[in-house]
Amino acid sequence: MRDGGESSAAGKAAAIAYRWRVWLLCAGIFAVMGCMAPNFLTARNFADILKGVATNLPAAIGFTIVLLAGQLDLSVGSAMTLGGMLVMGLAPELGWAGAFAVAVAGGVVLGLANGLLVARAKINSFIVTLGAMIIVYNAMAIYCKGGTITTDSFGLSDWFQRPLVGAAPLGAAGAAQWPAWLTLWLTPRNLVPLALLAGASLLLRRTPVGRGFYLLGGNPQAAWYSGLRVDAYVVGAFVLSASLSAVGGSLVAMSEAAGSLKLGENSLMAIVAAAVIGGTSMEGGKGSVIGTAVALVALTALINGLSCLGAGHEVKLMASGLVLALVILYDACWLHVRQRTKGQRKDLLLELKTRGASS
Amino acid sequence: MTQPPPIPAANGRDLASSRLLETLNVLGVYILVAGLFAIGCAVSRQFLTPDNLLNALRSVALMGIVAVGVAFITYSRHYVDLSIPGIMALSGTVAVWALQYGIVASLAAGLAAGLVIGIINGLVVGYLRLNPIIWTLAMMSILSGVIRWAYAGRQIYPDAATAAGRAFLDLYHHAVFGVVPLPLVILPIAAAVGHVVMRHTGYGAALKLTGSNYEVARLSGVHVRGVVAGAFAISALASGVAGIFLTSFNKVGAVYIGEGYDFKTITAVVLGGMTLAGGRGNIAGVLGGVMAIALMSNVMSLVRIGDFTIGQFAQNIVQGAVFILVVGVNSFSRRKAGRDDA
């Protein structure tokens, strides 16, 4: 991977820093916020950060898979709203399990529609998903009559928020060994998205299907020549994205015992930012869901730290966009420098310079 | 429609037939407009009243001014500027803020604010080659944050007690020659300027080549980066103009001014036959697209069957569906005709 002329120690350090930039960014944000923001380094606050990450993580995984396949899905936020609304609206009639199934099915249908329009009708995915975002959002607004759907039965929402270990009455003896901070984090609400992340990561790294997404995104033509069922993969990516978003949205709604139109409204910006900052290329074929997850943690920690510092709502709104802008600018500059010096032979340049000086 | 440009074409017949196709495309939009007009007359008695038509025309004017700008971005194959609502809000609020220095300073400051954002967008997307959708989405988020932060979430009002404030509030309603509202005068001017720049200047030719094939344009010596940057600056300037008018109409500078304009205008632009593949279409078609979109929402808002009315949400759904459908039909027909491989 090394280009000629990158022999200096500084160049090496820069390359390493570039490679691990998401982790560095995350560590940096935690370090700075830990030093500056009061109450940032507490177990309760970390639990808040994790809750925020868990909210957007499923949709971010889906968005990353679509990006890897070389497409774009702007409808993830609306799909989250769809999941949350359907699960809250149908629960009184179908029960939680039935409502959840319908919500996920709704996501699958949305993903199928997106995917077929992109793969079969060959419409640009930006257009399809922008249209789908608006259609689904407004359909949900009609469904809930512009308001919020709430429930009176808090049993399920309590279960989602309750720590799995420590607070369990049966394991009272063993629970003492668990540190308090850990019990705060190990709630089903946090663990389900984490399990999804592990599953998606394994799928993408270890299975032929997962590698297919990378192949497709890296070079669609080559993927087609090598016998990959290109259309099926595109549709699959959109179905995964929309259904994961719907799962994420319904998890949030079930744990908060309320589904609102605002659910996925601000999520799109954070999800796009997390995926791009996490190193997933807009051209497709490059990136990982782990990178997205780390970037999401970094972003959420940043926003959380800002509110610990007393920053207002508007700064939080701005933060995702600002960080995204800075990171992609940094990326662009890095690429620019690399392209300029690629294949350059520094020894020859040096020789030219010394000769020019002596003559 | 337009006279052929005075460049010697290698194959005159090809050029003529492509012009003909384009003209037919534009004609199609105007047929749609006429159809919507007829439907409007049929469904509601309120449609053909001067008040309603003037309302529809005013929304055409604002959307049209923005769309003429967006057309340049779409023409250059960079899809759309998603930060348009932010630019409109920024221009409006800055203009209201600058009213203390007089109406001229206010307008200049508002336009300059829009232009500055456009230049930043242009530098980043044009020169650094960042993905336009991602960058402008980030820009939108930053702008909405900045506006909220600058005014601490409050809205700012032009002061009607001062002469400048009154002039600003009058801007939208001002009737030139006593009849025509000012936005309706600005729109034809903007459209004419846009048309001339796009069709009869060196910049327009460079833009067409850049939009048709970026790499070929670059290799032929077109200054592609600057050309793309210019398109973003033009679009932002147009959005700034519309933002000031919209602020004058709403009598308030606020962050939500211009919400939805990004989607509405890109729908109008593609409806008018300007494809996302770049380098095709013209301003006349874009104006047709704007009229169709404006008439569609106007007609939908007038439909009343008993108690049943089509609400804002349902209107948005229809617009979203039309948007996908139009792009789909457009790309399908071009693929059938062998004009696009995409």
Minimal CA separation from A48 to chain B, in Å: 23
For chain A, 359 residues long, give each residue's pLDDT as a single digit of tens.
Answer: 444 444 577 778 878 887 888 899 899 999 998 888 888 888 888 888 888 899 999 999 999 999 999 999 999 999 999 999 999 888 888 888 899 999 999 999 999 999 999 999 888 888 899 999 999 999 998 888 877 887 777 777 777 777 776 554 444 444 445 666 677 778 888 889 999 999 999 999 999 999 999 999 999 999 999 999 999 999 999 999 999 999 999 999 888 888 888 887 778 888 999 998 898 888 888 899 999 999 999 999 998 888 888 777 778 778 888 888 888 888 888 777 777 777 777 778 888 888 776 65
Residue A144's closest chain B neighbor by CA?
B313
A residues 152-181 lying closer than 8 A (beta carbon) to B: none
Other residues' Cβ atoms within 10 Å of the Cβ of residue B175: 12
Q: Is it the case that residue B222 has pLDDT exceeding 50?
A: yes
CA angle, A267 then A270 then A273, to 5°: 145
Minimal CA separation from B108 to chain A, in Å: 27
A336 touches chain B (CB under 8 A): yes
Chain A residues whose beta carbon lies within 8 Å of the beta carbon of residue B329: none
Minimal CA separation from B293 to chain A, in Å: 15
Residue A168's pLDDT is: 47
Instruction: With CB atoms and an 8 Å threshold, state whether A313 touches B153.
Output: yes
Q: What is the spatial distance between Cα B226 and Cα B229, in angstroms, rounded to a whole number?
A: 5
Residue A112's pLDDT is: 96
Of B276, A119, B140, A67, the closest CA to residue A76 belongs to A67
Residue B133's closest chain A neighbor by CA?
A126
Residue A179's pLDDT is: 65
User: Which of B137, B141, B339 to probe by mutation at the A interface, max A CB count within 10 Å?
Assistant: B141
Give the model's confidence band at B1: pLDDT under 50 very low, under 70 low, under 90 confident, else very high: very low
Of A95-104, B173-182, B246-255, where does mean pLDDT reach its minimum?
B173-182
Residues B87-133: tens digit of each pLDDT: 999 999 999 999 889 899 999 999 999 999 999 999 999 988 888 98
DSSP H stretches of helix in chain B: 12-43, 50-75, 84-97, 103-122, 132-150, 163-173, 182-200, 202-212, 214-219, 224-250, 261-271, 283-302, 312-336
The CATH class given to the B25-336 domain equals mainly alpha
Residue B13's pLDDT is: 63
Mean pLDDT of B248-258: 86
For chain A, list the domains and their CATH numbers: 29-164+179-312 (1.10.3470)
Instruction: With CB atoms and an 8 Å threshold, state whether B331 touches A321.
Output: no
A126 touches chain B (CB under 8 A): yes
Q: What is the spatial distance between Cα A216 and Cα A68, in angstroms, rounded to a whole number?
A: 8
Chain B residues whose beta carbon lies within 8 Å of the beta carbon of residue A266: none
Chain B residues whose beta carbon lies within 8 Å of the beta carbon of residue A269: 137-138, 141
Mean pLDDT of B238-263: 89
Which residue in this structure is represented by tokens 């995984």? A61
Which residue in this structure is represented by tokens 């509030």? B169
User: Three-state SS for B235?
Assistant: helix
CA angle, A328 then A25 then A7, to 5°: 80
Cβ-Cβ contacts under 8 Å for B195 (sequence gap 6 or more):
B282, B283, B284
Minimal CA separation from A332 to chain B, in Å: 6
Chain B residues whose beta carbon lies within 8 Å of the beta carbon of residue A319: 145
Phi-psi region of B340 (alpha: psi -120 to 50; beta: other; left: phi over 0): beta
**ipTM of the prediction:** 0.82
Chain B residues whose beta carbon lies within 8 Å of the beta carbon of residue A117: 324, 328
Q: What is the spatial distance between Cα B73 and Cα B211, in angstroms, rounded to a whole number?
A: 9
